[in-house]
Amino acid sequence: MRMMFLSYPADARQSVSAVLEEWDALDWSVQDSADDYMDVRVVLPETDGQSLVDALQSRLTPYEGWRLVIVPVEACIGPKTKDIVDEAKDDEPEKKADPVIALREEIYQDVAEGTKIDSVFLVLTLLSAIVAALGMNGDSVAVVVGAMVIAPLLGPLLAFSFASAIGDVELMVKATRTAITGLALGFLTAFLIGFVIPVNLTSPELLDRTHVGLDSVVLALASGGAAALSVSRGLSTTLVGVMVAVALLPPSVAVAVYLGAGEIGLSLRAAVLLATNIICVNIASLLVFAIRGVRPRTWLEKRSAKRSRQINFAVWGVLLAALIGLILLVMG
């Protein structure tokens, strides 16, 4: 459940009231504010909250100085609120699809945080690469798992998929820049470790990242799908972040460590696994966002988003088909 606080000019009173009155069971109240402004508090419904937010934004577009803030609510008690909950339960069997619970704006705020290149992102990337390289070289599963816990790899990948789903080129560029920066820093760190210390070429943790199979494709698809599903439902992405790191961190570190040790062949095999996982995570997360109905608000933005999704699906699909063909060729 969420509470929406809306502040808008008094001139927009009729427009806002007309929208709110369309939701009969909606729990909302209006009060006058200073400087000819109105304040509205609305308990958002779980099922069609996005429709209400979009409708309000459309009506308020001609006006200036309005602001909409949405915050989570632990509990809301009252006769009208009880009616809203009861109606939602009564309508539940009739639903044909599971709606997007998290609002588009909430998802945007969540994934946009993952595109920031700050000291925390850089330090975590550096530390995760060091821990993963040493853990894999020493064949320590526990150490490698610890590296995956602190690796900030989920943010930029989810941001890129979400940006593709809504056609936000600016967010897509930011996510790409952050992902490249993180991969480059982690790669350089692991390369130096592989160059300086003796590499254990018999370590199962390293050798496992040189074997590419269809199970790798399934793992990466499951990781990307789980991550996108979690963020689209407003759930914690901590655990699925580790799952995504399983698909990305070890192979990327293996590529750099092997390259630093001069093992070009093993490095290339790990690079194929890394490329496969990156492609699959993006395809799965983009597909989940599309199925969950994550769309822009306006018609023009929706058309742009549709084109963006088509282009991304086509590019990632061709790359995945090529890699699968390469994997089958190698396995054969």
**Does the structure show a pLDDT above 70 at 57?**
yes
Per-residue pLDDT at 285 exceeds 80: yes
More confident residue, 96 or 213: 213
Mean pLDDT of 250-276: 91
Burial class (CB in 10 A: 0-12, 13-18, 19+), 92: exposed
Structure tokens belonging to residue 56: 């309000």
Mean pLDDT of 251-270: 91
The average pLDDT across 105-128 equals 86
Is pLDDT of 12 > 50? yes
More confident residue, 213 or 123: 123
Mean pLDDT of the chain: 80
Stretch 86-105: mean pLDDT:
53
DSSP result, 158-207: HHHHHHHHHT-HHHHHHHHHHHHHHHHHHHHHHHHHHHHSPP-TT-HHHH
- Which of the residue ranges 19-28, 29-38, 194-203, 305-314 has the most confident prediction, judged by mean pLDDT? 194-203
Which residue ranges make up each domain of the chain? 2-94, 105-331
> ∠ CA 261-262-266 to the nearest 5 degrees?
90
Least confident of 32-36, 50-54, 60-64, 100-104: 100-104
Is the predicted pLDDT of residue 84 greater than 80, yes or no? no
Question: What pLDDT is recorded for position 52?
Answer: 78
Whether 331 has a pLDDT exceeding 60, the answer reads: no
pLDDT of 93: 45
Distant-in-sequence, close-in-space partners of 308: CB < 8 Å, separation ≥ 6: 163, 164, 165, 166, 167, 169, 172
Query: What whole-number distance in Å separates Cα of residue 253 and Cα of residue 135?
Result: 11
From its phi and psi, is residue 245 left (phi > 0), alpha (psi between -120 and 50) or beta? alpha
Q: Which CATH architecture has domain 2-94?
A: 2-Layer Sandwich (3.30)
**Cα angle 250-264-245, degrees, rounded to a multiple of 5:** 10
Instruction: Quote the pLDDT of residue 100.
Output: 46
Residue 95: what pLDDT? Answer: 42
- Model confidence band, residue 286 (pLDDT cutoffs 50, 70, 90): confident
Q: What are the Cα distances from residue 96, in Å, to 246, 261, 273?
A: 34, 55, 38
Nearest to 325 by CA among 281, 272, 286, 256: 272
What pLDDT is attached to residue 86? 54
Kindly state the percentage of the chain with pLDDT values over 70: 81
pLDDT of the residue at 97? 44
For the residues 155-184, what does the mean pLDDT come to? 88
Which range (63-67, 197-201, 258-262) has the least confidence?
A: 63-67
Whether residue 22 is predicted with pLDDT greater than 80 in this model: the reply is: no
Q: Give the least confident one: 84-93, 131-140, 144-153, 279-288.
A: 84-93
The pair of structure tokens assigned to 277 is 């996982």
Give 78's DSSP letter. Answer: S
